[in-house]
Amino acid sequence: MKLDEKYFVPFIAIVAVVAALIIVFFTVSNRQGREEAFKESIAEQDSLRYHRMPVLNSTTDSLSISSFSDQFVILDFWASWTESFSRQSHRQLANLKEQYPGKVEIIAAVVRDKPEKTQEYINRYDYPFHFVEGTAVFNGFNVPGVPTQLVYRPNGKLSSVFTGYADSTRMDSLQTLIRNE
């Protein structure tokens, strides 16, 4: 069977669009599968709560999620190379911490970043967080990407896992969760 020349370019264009759609579909479904597997894995095990992370710029050498009892703890995996997204998310988390003083703690776990870039970011924005080195935890627990946030209830149980960039819907969900506890 021979393809008429006048249909060749449209045929190739259609094949290219279909191939692109297939690639996008499998990429998205693979990412969703990885995120779901991570959520199930973290929910089943309790060891992340007790894993100690080195604190940056503090006299305290390390801390864990279990260091904070009777408070919500948000473990936020971030990097300075995602500064615009990290800054937006961190601004929202700082506002959340300000709205609920004594009820929320933020552990900002930097991932795969240069120490000087991390320090520059911390100094520039001065957020009221506990900044820790999070690369080992990120790799050890197969966190699906940066940014990722894990939300623990005051009883220490994992409540939510958010992957991707924070938006107003996520902040609304966090406020509702904290307000209703």
Per the DSSP assignment, residues forming a β-bridge with 130 are 107
Q: What is the pLDDT of residue 78?
A: 95
Query: Along the 181 residues of the chain, how does pLDDT read in single tens digits?
Result: 677 788 888 888 898 999 888 888 776 666 566 667 777 777 677 788 899 999 998 777 999 999 998 999 999 999 988 877 888 889 999 999 999 999 999 999 999 999 999 999 999 998 999 999 999 999 988 888 888 999 999 998 888 888 877 778 888 888 998 988 7
Peptide bond into 147 cis (omega under 30): yes
d(CA 53, CA 38): 20
Residues 6+ away with beta carbon under 8 Å from 24: none
Q: Which of 120, 94, 60 lies closest to 174, judged by CA?
A: 94
pTM above 0.75, yes or no: yes
Contact 93, 106 (CB under 8 A): yes
